Amino acid sequence: MIIQLKPQAIPQQIEELRNYLTEHRFTTKEVNTQKGSYLIAIGKGEFDIRAIGFMDGVADIHVVSDNYKLVSAKWKVDPTEIDLGNDIVIKQGNLSIMAGPCSIEGEEQIKNTIEHLKKAGIGIMRGGVYKPRSSPYSFRGMGIDGLRLWYQMANENGIKIISEVMQVSQIEEMYDYVDIFQVGARNTQNYNLLDELGKVDKPVMIKRGISGTIDELLYSAEYVFSGGNEKLLLCERGIRTYEKASRNTFDINAIPILKAKSHLPVISDPSHGIGIRDHVPAIALASVLAGADGVIYEAHQDPRKAYSDGQQTLTFNQSLDLANNLRKVMKMRLDML
């Protein structure tokens, strides 16, 4: 059960509510986010919910049968919108494109990528400065100095930044230089990291775990929301299956299912989803038809020379075509509705 509190609810009223719920064998957790205050009640006790609806301080009350509550579509009428400023708003019906290299490599690469993004009309640049690599001998990223340099150049050009945060201690140092924190597939269930991201007021995009279920992704998002941050995005990036012909198995099913289960925007990552450059556009386009609110993909001026994930990285020409086609497919989807 989610009890939305009135903005002017006072501690005494909240205490009375909590006591009432405790008496009826519910445990409660108070959640305060950038947008509102909630009391989450977990339990199976029986009582007439109208009794709570009439209590002081209560704005609304929702019975949510899902085990995740705040990220569920069952209580929130309007889909979540994420406003990054400069007219860049991630929301349903407004396809958001995020593109850039797997790893930030240096000034020249950042400059070329920003030029490309501007030409393609893409407002959000992706790139890792802390890279979770399977092998410890692979390039592990430029770190905070790379992020500072990138931020300076992106900011001058009105480009927003999404970048992966791998551990709690990086949140603070990255905070001023990112517009969206990315939680990678290897960290989806790092609950300490998710708890801490609940305390920041910047958007967080959570990727689906490598072998994670759709519900597990929603639980991860619930951690961040219940920690106090409701600026959340969900990302399908493929899962590990027995199939070896592609890097991962992009789960197209996850897109409409996540959209139905949650009010959060859903982003697709076809690059990691299939892992094969020439097939990335097809999966990207399919994901938009399936209902994705945005697409994040890897692009580089010379993918063969990319420090990481070159095999799945688009050339700028491919990226330009894809961005145009994504917009066409989005328009087609909206026309079909």
Answer for which of 100, 123, 146, 184 binds ligand PEP (CB under 6 A) is 184
Instruction: Compute the residue count for the chain.
Output: 337
Binding mask 283-312 for Mn ion (x = CB under 5 A): --------------------------x---
Nearest C-alpha neighbor of 152 from the set 201, 204, 111, 103: 111
Apex CA 113: angle with CA 112 and CA 117, to 5°?
Answer: 120
Regarding 239 and contact with Mn ion (CB under 5 A), the answer is no
Regarding 102 and contact with ligand PEP (CB under 6 A), the answer is yes
Stretch that binds ligand PEP, among 72-80, 182-190, 224-232, 314-322 (CB under 6 A): 182-190
| Contact (Cβ atoms closer than 8 angstroms) between residue 95 and residue 294 | yes
| Contact (Cβ atoms closer than 8 angstroms) between residue 161 and residue 177 | yes
Give me the residue whose beta carbon is nearest to ligand PEP: 184
Regarding 270 and contact with ligand PEP (CB under 6 A), the answer is no
Regarding 123 and contact with ligand PEP (CB under 6 A), the answer is no
Nearest C-alpha neighbor of 199 from the set 231, 239, 163, 177: 231
Side-chain half-sphere exposure of 179, counting CA atoms within 13 A: 24
Answer for which of 79, 132, 228, 310 binds ligand PEP (CB under 6 A) is 132
Rounded to whole angstroms, the Cα distance separating 159 from 316 reads 17
Stretch that binds Mn ion, among 10-18, 59-67, 97-105, 168-176 (CB under 5 A): 97-105
DSSP assignment string, 245-293: SSSSB--TTHHHHHHHHBSS-EEE-HHHHH--GGGHHHHHHHHHHTT-S
Regarding 179 and contact with Mn ion (CB under 5 A), the answer is no
Regarding 247 and contact with ligand PEP (CB under 6 A), the answer is no
- Between 70 and 185, CB nearer to ligand PEP: 185
Nearest C-alpha neighbor of 194 from the set 223, 159, 166: 223
- Between 130 and 177, CB nearer to ligand PEP: 130
| Paired residues of 236 in beta bridges | 268
Regarding 300 and contact with ligand PEP (CB under 6 A), the answer is no
Q: Which two tokens stand for residue 318?
A: 């491919």
Regarding 237 and contact with ligand PEP (CB under 6 A), the answer is yes
Stretch that binds ligand PEP, among 1-9, 14-22, 150-158, 179-187 (CB under 6 A): 179-187
Cα dist from 324 to 47, 49, 318, 328, whole Å: 54, 50, 10, 6
- Between 269 and 293, CB nearer to ligand PEP: 269
Regarding 294 and contact with ligand PEP (CB under 6 A), the answer is no
Nearest C-alpha neighbor of 209 from the set 197, 198, 219: 219
Regarding 141 and contact with ligand PEP (CB under 6 A), the answer is no
DSSP assignment string, 156-178: HTT-EEEEE--SHHHHHHHHTT-
Regarding 128 and contact with ligand PEP (CB under 6 A), the answer is yes
Q: How many CB atoms lie within 10 A of CB 30?
A: 15
Regarding 194 and contact with ligand PEP (CB under 6 A), the answer is no
Regarding 273 and contact with ligand PEP (CB under 6 A), the answer is no
Give me the residue whose beta carbon is nearest to Mn ion: 102
What minimum distance in Å lies between the beta carbon of 68 and Mn ion? Answer: 28
Question: How many residues interact with ligand PEP (rule CB under 6 A)?
Answer: 9
What minimum distance in Å lies between the beta carbon of 308 and Mn ion? Answer: 6
Which residues have CB under 8 Å from 118's CB, separation 6+? 157, 159
What minimum distance in Å lies between the beta carbon of 101 and Mn ion? Answer: 8
Stretch that binds Mn ion, among 62-70, 100-108, 154-162, 219-227 (CB under 5 A): 100-108
- The single-letter code of the amino acid at 181 is F
Q: Which residues bind Mn ion (CB under 5 A)?
A: 102, 309
Q: Which residues bind ligand PEP (CB under 6 A)?
A: 102, 128, 132, 184-186, 207, 237, 272
